[in-house]
């Protein structure tokens, strides 16, 4: 019997509903126990549960960082707290993929099953008097119907699943995983992951981008979005030959892809292969499968490539 039931004298009506309820954990998890005991613990100081929770998931992802070092990146003195988007931005800056877990209890559990702790936002207060708190879910116990967290100054907080779910729902069911580049949980959702990786473009270190999109191409080999991401990642990482190969492969399977044609032509032009680049662009402009906006892009690139120096007929092999 849960401890709430002892207060029956005080609030009988409320408790009738509280005690007669079925377990909050879904049936599928009823006999299951998951606890990621290796997740480290950084007790929070003052109001800084954001930096502490972030350090917890960063270190688990293999990135040695102290909560103190994260304060300057995520703490908002005026609010005495941290914003969700800034936690994601901090992961991005360090080359970790900030994957937002689908806002469904089952997805949260699936992510834990896959072996990844989830940084969650909880509202420990009420709708009217919110009390925002970041913590890290590290497991659940189906038999006991509980959720296990690293939270605040508590190394191992065990909450009834029902109570946890209430605090999580009041906070919009938000949770994120910090994925070491190249790591992809089995339960990851394609579009959510690709969005997270795409948002890292221009911010994360290029090798991390290559690993993040490389894992996506491995998981979804025919996915154009993942392929474009990998091509662009190779480009910023300075691996022009690999970038060219990626866009060429995509163009072979999708001749109507403006981005594959455009980026491949640009790469060819940049390495002095101007004639081939112009031919590629003209081929696209001659067809009817590309819309007005796509045509504008190809024409702009054509002007740029045409103005490039050197090259001509000679087309050197990729570096």
Positions 266 through 295 that interact with another protein (CB under 8 A) = 266, 270
Candidates 179, 183, 184, 194; binder of another protein (CB under 8 A) is 194
Candidates 182, 199, 220, 242; binder of another protein (CB under 8 A) is 199
* 15 token code pair: 């408790």
Checking 293-300 for CB contacts under 8 A at 24+ apart, the result is 294/258, 297/258, 297/262, 298/258, 298/261, 298/262, 298/265
Query: What distance lies between CA 209 and its chain's CA centroid?
Result: 12
In the region spanning residues 20 to 39, those forming contacts with another protein, defined by CB under 8 A, are: none
CB burial string 193-210: b at 16+ within 10 A, e below: bbebbbebbeebebebbb
Instruction: Kindly state whether residue 129 participates in binding another protein, applying the rule CB under 8 A.
Output: yes
In the region spanning residues 299 to 318, those forming contacts with another protein, defined by CB under 8 A, are: 300-301, 304-305
CB 163 to another protein: min, Å = 5
Candidates 72, 309, 313, 316; binder of another protein (CB under 8 A) is 72
Q: How many CB atoms lie within 10 A of CB 41?
A: 16
Binding segment (CB under 8 A) for another protein, from list 23-31, 47-55, 58-66, 177-185: 47-55
CB 268 to another protein: min, Å = 11
89 in Cβ contact with 70 (< 8 Å):
no
* 127 token code pair: 């709708």
Q: Distance between CA 155 and CA 43 in Å, rounded? A: 7
Candidates 55, 70, 88, 96; binder of another protein (CB under 8 A) is 88
Using CB under 8 A as the criterion, what x/- string covers residues 130-169 for binding another protein? xxxxxx-------------x-xxxx--x-x---x--xx--
Instruction: Kindly state whether residue 49 participates in binding another protein, applying the rule CB under 8 A.
Output: yes
Count of residues near another protein by CB under 8 A? 84
């Amino acid at each position: 019997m849960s401890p709430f039931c002892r207060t029956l004298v005080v609030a009988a009506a409320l408790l009738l509903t509280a005690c007669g309820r079925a377990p909050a954990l879904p049936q599928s998890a009823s006999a299951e126990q998951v606890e990621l005991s290796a997740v480290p613990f950084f007790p929070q100081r003052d109001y800084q549960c954001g930096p502490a929770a972030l350090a917890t998931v960063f270190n688990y992802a293999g990135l040695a960082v102290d909560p103190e070092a994260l304060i300057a990146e995520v703490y908002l003195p005026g609010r005495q707290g941290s914003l969700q988007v800034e936690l994601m931005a901090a992961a991005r800056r360090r080359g970790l993929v900030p994957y937002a877990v689908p806002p469904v209890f089952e997805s949260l559990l699936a992510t834990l099953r896959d072996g990844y702790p989830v940084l969650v936002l909880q509202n420990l207060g009420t709708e009217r008097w919110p009390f925002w708190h970041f913590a890290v879910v590290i497991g659940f116990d189906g038999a006991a119907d509980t959720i296990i967290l690293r939270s605040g100054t508590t190394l191992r907080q065990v909450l009834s699943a029902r109570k946890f779910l209430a605090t999580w729902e009041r906070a919009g069911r938000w949770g994120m995983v910090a994925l070491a580049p190249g790591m992809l949980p089995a339960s990851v959702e394609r579009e959510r992951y690709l969005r997270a990786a795409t948002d890292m473009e221009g911010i994360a270190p290029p090798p991390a981008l290559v690993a993040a999109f490389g894992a996506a191409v491995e998981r979804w080999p025919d996915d154009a979005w993942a392929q474009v991401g990998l091509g662009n990642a190779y480009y910023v990482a300075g691996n022009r030959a690999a970038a060219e190969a990626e866009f060429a492969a995509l163009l072979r399977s999708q001749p109507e892809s403006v981005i594959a044609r455009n980026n491949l032509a640009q790469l060819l032009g940049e390495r002095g292969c101007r004639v081939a680049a112009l031919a590629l662009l003209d081929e696209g402009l001659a067809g009817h499968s590309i819309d007005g906006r796509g045509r504008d892009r190809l024409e702009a690139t054509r002007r740029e490539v045409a103005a490039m120096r050197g090259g001509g007929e000679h087309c050197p092999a990729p570096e």
